[in-house]
Amino acid sequence: MFENTFDERDVFNQPVFRKYPDEYILIVDAPGIPMQDIEVRTDGNALIVSGEFRTCAHTPEHRENRFCLDREIDVSYGLPMDADLDNLTASYKDGVLFVTIARIQKGEKKFKVEQYKERWADKIWNLKEKVKDSLNLNERRE
């Protein structure tokens, strides 16, 4: 009788991911979902935003004719390699979630020069030299 032409994308805007010189920003519409019901987490290099809110309203005399509101978000983004996952903030205002991820700045890196310390490879090399020297001494004695 009726065709199901409803598409969830017609109702909700798609999340927006923006790249800036110092940060990335993910903007997610989350209308009707309370801030405390939204979860932002990382899994490896993926950023995951999820949340849901369900409520039903009815009057005592019309229990069977109730109105239910279901809202749900579940967004996963693969983050670029220069995303600083330890420097991530999320804020929520008027049904919109803003996730800001700092970028690791590329550029020249300076390394500290330290006094040389003997390592395990040096110990093996020294042992090899000692064995070689002892073999040379044995050959000379014969």
**More confident position, 110 or 12:** 110
pLDDT in tens, 20-74: 999 999 999 888 888 999 999 999 989 999 998 887 776 666 666 667 778 888 8
Would the pTM of this model clear 0.85, i.e. be above it?
no
Is the Cβ–Cβ distance between 13 and 97 less than 8 Å?
A: no
d(C-alpha 104, C-alpha 87), whole Å: 9
**More confident position, 2 or 89:** 89
At 140, the pLDDT band (50, 70, 90 cuts) reads: low
**pLDDT of the residue at 103:** 92
Beta-strand runs (E) in the chain:
16-19, 23-29, 38-43, 46-57, 67-78, 83-93, 96-103
Domains of the chain: residue spans and CATH: 11-103 (2.60.40.790)
pLDDT in tens, 117-126: 666 667 777 7
**More confident position, 54 or 133:** 54
Give just the sign of the alpha carbon dihedral 13, 14, 19, 24.
positive
Q: Which residues contact 15 (CB under 8 A, 6 or more apart)?
A: 26, 27, 28, 29, 49, 75, 77
Is the Cβ–Cβ distance between 33 and 73 less than 8 Å?
A: yes
What are phi and psi for residue 139, nearest 5 degrees? -65, -35
Alpha-carbon distances, residue 33 vs 10, 37, 114 (angstroms): 18, 7, 55
**More confident position, 136 or 83:** 83
